[in-house]
Structure 1
Amino acid sequence: MTMLAPARRDFVDASRPAGDNGEATAATYLEALQLLERLHRLMQDLVKDEFERLGRQDLNPVQALILYNLGESEVSAGELRSRGMYQGSNVSYNLKKLVSMGYVHHERCDLDRRSVRVRLTEAGQEVRQIVLGLFRRHADQLAMSGVLDDPPLAQVNLQARRIERYWTEQIRYIY
């Protein structure tokens, strides 16, 4: 996995108005990208710590997040990959491991025999509940501390969805 290079201090003075050739905007955007990457890594560390605390070393954080994102659905591996955040991991390999460990059930699709559909087993549902509980605890604690109020998290999510839509459009224009 490649990490974004820290923003060069000589690249921009973030205190300058955004109208200065967009340098401040670029610096803020680069900082946001770095924060997203660090948050993702920290989320995986939090999941890892939770499983260690519970004495469960059978799953790595990526596998636990795959189970969490699979949820109640029955999907193809491709759909699961597009839903989740599996930075630096091989989803197919991890799904194969999860099947062999009894967390995921898989079967060939009746309509397209090349496609495999996956869903959680009861053991997979238990892991999903652990991750869900962790996320809910954090949400409650952050809400009580007021961290999620300014700006409101719903606005932050709206901004992130807009960036996601822009990036998706950029990828489409390449092809």
Structure 2
Amino acid sequence: MGQENNELLLTHIGPIKEMIQTCIQCGTCTASCPNTKFMDMTPRHMWRLLLTDHADVIFSSKSFIMCSSCYYCTLRCPRGLELTAAMSLLKQAASKLKLKRFRRSSLFYEAFLDSVEKHGRVKEMEFMTHYFMSMKNPLLPLGYAALGTRLLAKGKIRPDFSFGGKGKLTALFEKTAQLEG
């Protein structure tokens, strides 16, 4: 990471570090996490690295991306720390820093939220088309063609539909944008 990225990193990491400042490293978050087996770094290890100013090591891992926001760690934390929110902030920081290794995840989340904001729910065909186009890889959709065909045949996704939820979440997205600054 360059000097400019290091300054940006510190800007994004500060609030997260404050959130977990009172972590006692008990390991309850790691023991509670259903995704730990898929991570190359445990949540407890991530918090320790964050507290010791080694956030760059966290961003060299994809462990925080594996958080499914189940809130189990937050519920079980003896200190009552908002650990799920901290993981979410790590994901946001990776997206805002435009780190290359998280590009695919960031584009997926952006396409997903775009669809939800526009239609009040996920419009699968449009969502996946938007995602594939943002990846700028013409061969990527071919890997999903068989799955898409099976889902279409079983009626799990439809090419188009009308849904009355359009615009119902606009206030939510506006409030979120306002809170994020």
Question: How high is the TM-score relative to the length of structure 1?
Answer: 0.31
As a proportion of its length, which structure holds more helix?
Answer: 2
As a proportion of its length, which structure holds more strand?
Answer: 1
Mark the structure with the bigger radius of gyration: 1
Question: How high is the TM-score relative to the length of structure 2?
Answer: 0.30
